[in-house]
Structure 1
């Protein structure tokens, strides 16, 4: 059995535990010192499972003066004083916020713990007045200004996105609570909030006009996540073991890791990072899989997409957006892009300096195919467990050259659509075709038209190149003629594989494939 005796910190989000129990640690302490030395109130948006909680825990240990935990790390050579401050660390990540009491209960519980240390005021009845009182007394009793760390500040809001009344209650509660950070500024040494989304309507961003949102700052592009250099320096032994188990060279292993888990960019000129959760799990299990996507079901994203009538094809191919259009989420907006980007399903792929437009796309294959596999049951009648079966059969039939079976299966696929689903507009069917062919791309070379002058779909297998043209209001003969007239075959003539033309009629009345011709 191939094993490593080194400990990987999967599920360990406490910096002190990682250091005392000798888990492997990717050193991010230079960012901690930089933030603590150059400012006070910060906000950082990063996707879930990206190391935000560990980062705040590192800040906590630093501000509590636990110098011994930082031995051998970058900050040891930077920090000279190691002053101990009172730290109020609020973590909203663990609770389930399906009713109003969930939020008020967890806030009150934290306040009670702090009041046992720093005392309570007789006239402090509301959550916000108690919070202000704790901050004031903590500063007075210790003679030091207070450090406030808030992890996943937006978790209640995200869980209430599809419940308008509950969302409003949570917004009002948090607006008052976070507003204390402005009125208590004189007592605060440092404030750091993390979350997934920058909610425009929460006063922490409107009232705290001095709050520094470092989510897209160049200097903090790699504060969470793992760079390629950090991956190879910290986990070289584990990468070698992963390669041996999977019969791959070291270079092939690193390339595979990059294809699946790398590609996140939080500044157009910043270095890319790997998803730390997926990296650690792949190294521990010695297997490549979709670890990050399996930890959460972004149902709220699907609801946003459907409510906004957003064209999935545009999203999957990559979308352009001004920074103001994807860095701040408004619950009353029909634009789902900010939440999809900040949740980690899109990342920065390019930037047009002249027009100040960003190009966003999937960061890697884990997210790309995970997202499409998750989306498919919301747009089609297939159940979750049937996804791989359908896509696998589609791929096998084209690999073997069995186009009639492929199209027959696709026809039966559409026949299962409910009447309510199939009443939707023409674009609905185009999206489903699009998803099917895109998902096949995980196992074959599959392209779907995203610009004029190309066939609707092209699938490449070891033996064949298939060129598909679909006609909603036309004949299979016209589809084949269009393939010839538009020169869709020309890019593949020198390839050497057998080229197969497929013209398909789609009947609007029956809402299904009606005829096809294969040449």
Structure 2
């Protein structure tokens, strides 16, 4: 029987019983069980949170006791079961689809419906234990529902394990669309805080454990007075690899799929590192992670078609991150985005709790939010500060797409996508950059004099990378070699490798109009840098330098663009 790829699957029982690939994360059960009783864990979207919750549900569910060997026998925890296995009634709450666009009453009604549905499912699952007739399952609100579930469970001498998926989803929507309503529902007498107060009260009687997941700690601080019992495990070293794939785990999956029979091991792993790897969630850890959903999407395409997908970034993930962009870029901090895009990194102090009242006053909040969303990750840390970087090319694409739209909106750039595509095709196939330069000139000419006041080499780079970014080339900014950092390195997208004849090494220089007389000196410096770069051992080992064009672009003011190709 062929092994299946669990792309989009979040049902643990289905995955382990129907011959799907599964990376064994069950060793974390005993770590979590020996830690706090009430836990919060944050990871970016599509990072395996729902599947992990499903695994916990099956492990602790009293109804699955007779199936323990079937479900867990081949996994770590099957040989190392904990004291509390199959000892709980599981109440699973999912707040991913709470309605936030219709006002307070509709939000509360939607919240109540989700909780009440979960409680009714709870009684259906445990009808043989709780002995509760359907006519008793009539609830006025969510608090009444959970209190009734706890009371009936207490009557039979059992305990409840509450699993909460996407605890912050509706909050993330509200703070970008309706802050007033957000404050209302999480105020001291607000409905959501009152619900969590009621849940907290149940921890003194029937609710023995809680495990919550989300994508940001935004709601955490505002719930504190009503729900100050959870321990945030997000940044702890021992849980860094709890979700996501390590390189050894990835290689095991690839071997099971026999991918190394078709593709070069080294090339395949290197390509996946560029696109899907790089995530590090603890300052004290060294193990970087691959985004599991991105990896499974890639595997699904490789197995189906024996070639790379045309879109290396799953379009479903792009859609999900669009929602998060609205949240993150509500800060309107273009300067920070420019720094991240141009320099590839930014230093900050990670914020672990957000208070919406002061949310937009601190740059650290914005940068930290990008970290929790997975759009930045830890590069290194020193004396309490961390350096964050864009984790991989997939995330860079989201930045470039956003910034391209922002440039067009803010600076009224004249962008002809059809001409740009033709220009890039000519660079790739014929090694000719004339059309590309013409597009660049036209874009620069559309800038106002006000735009040029703070204009420098960084802005030229951002302009090129955002406007000319597409899926033909991988646009590497500040590509590191022995002699320094190449401004832009355009390398082949492997999905189109057979059609791409040329790659490009581009050195950029910008001269303000008033400094035009420095042109010869700056041009000479640029050509010397290219000469150093092209002798790089790293570059030679990774690329075919015979088919790599070396280009110096010097922009003077906003009208003159000088180009010289170094042979």
Which range, TM-score by smaller chain?
A: 0.7 to 0.9
**2:346 paired residue number:** 319
Within a 5 Å distance, the mapping from 1:82-481 to structure 2 comes to 82-100=85-103, 101=105, 103-113=107-117, 116=120, 117=123, 127=142, 129-130=143-144, 133-163=147-177, 164-171=179-186, 172-186=190-204, 187-199=206-218, 202-238=221-257, 240=259, 244=262, 248-268=263-283, 269-286=285-302, 287-288=308-309, 289-291=312-314, 293-298=317-322, 300-301=324-325, 304-305=328-329, 307-316=332-341, 317-324=344-351, 327-331=352-356, 332-334=358-360, 335=363, 336-352=366-382, 355-380=383-408, 390=420, 393-394=423-424, 396-397=426-427, 405-414=435-444, 426-427=453-454, 433-438=460-465, 443=473, 447=477, 457=487, 466-474=506-514, 476-481=516-521
Within a 5 Å distance, the mapping from 1:12-91 to structure 2 comes to 12-65=9-62, 66=64, 67=68, 68-79=70-81, 82-91=85-94
CA 1:45/1:426 → structure 2, altered by over 3 Å: closer, same or farther? farther
Measure the CA separation in 1 of the matches of 2:137 and 2:17. 41
Deviation at 1:125, TM superposition (A): 5.4
**1:515 paired residue number:** 560
Cα shift readout 1:249-287 (whole Å, capped 9, x = no counterpart): 122212212221111111132421111111111111112
Larger deviation, residues 267-276 vs 230-239: 230-239
Measure the CA separation in 2 of the matches of 1:449 and 1:281. 27
CA 1:416/1:351 → structure 2, altered by over 3 Å: closer, same or farther? same
Measure the CA separation in 2 of the matches of 1:170 and 1:308. 28
Measure the CA separation in 2 of the matches of 1:224 and 1:304. 23
Equivalent pair of 2:339/2:345 in contact (CA under 8 Å): yes
Measure the CA separation in 2 of the matches of 1:47 and 1:61. 23
Measure the CA separation in 2 of the matches of 1:302 and 1:473. 37
Matched residue SS, 2:23 = coil
Measure the CA separation in 2 of the matches of 1:80 and 1:343. 32
Matched residue SS, 2:212 = strand
Matched residue SS, 1:56 = helix
CA 1:83/1:455 → structure 2, altered by over 3 Å: closer, same or farther? closer
- TM-score, scaled relative to structure 2: 0.76
Deviation at 1:416, TM superposition (A): 5.6
CA 1:517/1:55 → structure 2, altered by over 3 Å: closer, same or farther? closer
Measure the CA separation in 2 of the matches of 1:295 and 1:433. 28
Equivalent pair of 2:554/2:561 in contact (CA under 8 Å): yes
CA 1:500/1:32 → structure 2, altered by over 3 Å: closer, same or farther? closer
Equivalent pair of 1:121/1:133 in contact (CA under 8 Å): no
Q: Which runs of 5+ in 1 are unaligned?
A: 507-512
Equivalent pair of 1:218/1:270 in contact (CA under 8 Å): no
Deviation at 1:95, TM superposition (A): 4.4
Equivalent pair of 1:197/1:329 in contact (CA under 8 Å): no
Matched residue SS, 1:162 = helix
Deviation at 1:59, TM superposition (A): 1.2
Measure the CA separation in 2 of the matches of 1:389 and 1:159. 37
Q: Which runs of 5+ in 2 are unaligned?
A: 124-129, 303-307, 492-501, 536-547
Cα shift readout 1:136-179 (whole Å, capped 9, x = no counterpart): 31431331221111100001011223222333345343222222
Equivalent pair of 2:39/2:211 in contact (CA under 8 Å): yes
Equivalent pair of 1:455/1:468 in contact (CA under 8 Å): no
- TM-score, scaled relative to structure 1: 0.82
Measure the CA separation in 2 of the matches of 1:449 and 1:263. 15
Give the alignment's Cα RMSD to 1 decimal: 3.8
Equivalent pair of 1:103/1:170 in contact (CA under 8 Å): no
Measure the CA separation in 2 of the matches of 1:162 and 1:315. 23
Matched residue SS, 1:283 = helix
CA 1:85/1:9 → structure 2, altered by over 3 Å: closer, same or farther? same
Larger deviation, residues 314-323 vs 130-139: 130-139
CA 1:232/1:115 → structure 2, altered by over 3 Å: closer, same or farther? closer
**1:509 paired residue number:** none
Equivalent pair of 1:503/1:518 in contact (CA under 8 Å): yes
Matched residue SS, 2:218 = coil
Matched residue SS, 1:351 = strand
Deviation at 1:55, TM superposition (A): 0.9
Equivalent pair of 1:395/1:443 in contact (CA under 8 Å): no
**1:491 paired residue number:** 529
Equivalent pair of 1:479/1:504 in contact (CA under 8 Å): no
Matched residue SS, 1:474 = helix
Equivalent pair of 1:198/1:328 in contact (CA under 8 Å): yes
Deviation at 1:372, TM superposition (A): 1.4
Equivalent pair of 2:98/2:111 in contact (CA under 8 Å): no
Cα shift readout 1:41-89 (whole Å, capped 9, x = no counterpart): 0000000011111111111111113213212111112225534312110
Matched residue SS, 1:153 = coil
Measure the CA separation in 1 of the matches of 2:431 and 2:511. 22
Measure the CA separation in 2 of the matches of 1:237 and 1:230. 11
Equivalent pair of 1:448/1:457 in contact (CA under 8 Å): yes
Aligned residues: 493
Deviation at 1:481, TM superposition (A): 3.2
Equivalent pair of 2:324/2:373 in contact (CA under 8 Å): no
